[in-house]
Amino acid sequence: MEHFVDVSQLQPPAPLGIVLDRVRQLPRGDYLHIRHSREPFPLYAMLADMGFAWIGAHRGDGFEMRVWRRDDEPAPPFGVN
């Protein structure tokens, strides 16, 4: 199941903090879809550290990601819902 969070209108460090909170609460088997204003490079190391995997793509003016637990089923790639 998809969960969605839009942090594209928030000032740092809110986007990073909110995304970290949301992925920690992510139910098993689900994935989090994130809309961000930019590619969040600092987030990657933290997600990897926490045992998450992700895909991401530049879309329109911003950046979108799908994040899931590494030992869960991967989220569908963009373009597939």
Partner 1 sequence: MNTGGLSLDQAPPLGVPLRFFVTAPLFLALAALLLLVRGPEVFASRWTPAALAVTHLITIGFLAQIMIGALLQLLPVLVGAKVPAVSGFAAMVHSALTIGAVMLAGGFLSGQAGALALGAGFLGLGFLAFIAAAGAALWRVPGARHTAWAMRLALAALLVTAVLGGVLVWAMTGELRLAGFQRWVDVHLAWGLAGWGGLLLIGVASELAPMFYMTQRYPAALRGWLAPAGFALLALWSLLGVFDARASAAVGFLLGALFLLFVGVLQWLLARRKRPVKDATLFFVGFANLTLALGVLAWLAGASGIWIGLFLLAGTALAFPMGMLYKIVPFLCWFHLQGIQLRSELFDRPLPWMKGFISEAQARWQFASFIAAWLALALAVPWPEPFARIGGGLLLLSALFFLANLLGAVRRFRREAAWFERQGAAQSVDG
Dihedrals φ, ψ of 77, to 5°? -65, 160
- Pick from 27, 29, 57, 76: which binds partner 1 (CB under 8 A)? 57
- CA torsion through residues 52, 5, 66, 54, sign: negative
Binding pattern for the stretch 27-46 against partner 1, x by CB under 8 A and - elsewhere: ----------xxx-xx-xxx
12 in contact with partner 1 (CB under 8 A): yes
71 in contact with partner 1 (CB under 8 A): no
Q: 44: buried, middle or exposed (CB in 10 Å: 19+, 13-18, 0-12)?
A: middle
Give me the residues that bind partner 1 (CB under 8 A), please.
Answer: 9-13, 16-17, 20, 24, 37-39, 41-42, 44-50, 53-57, 61, 77-78
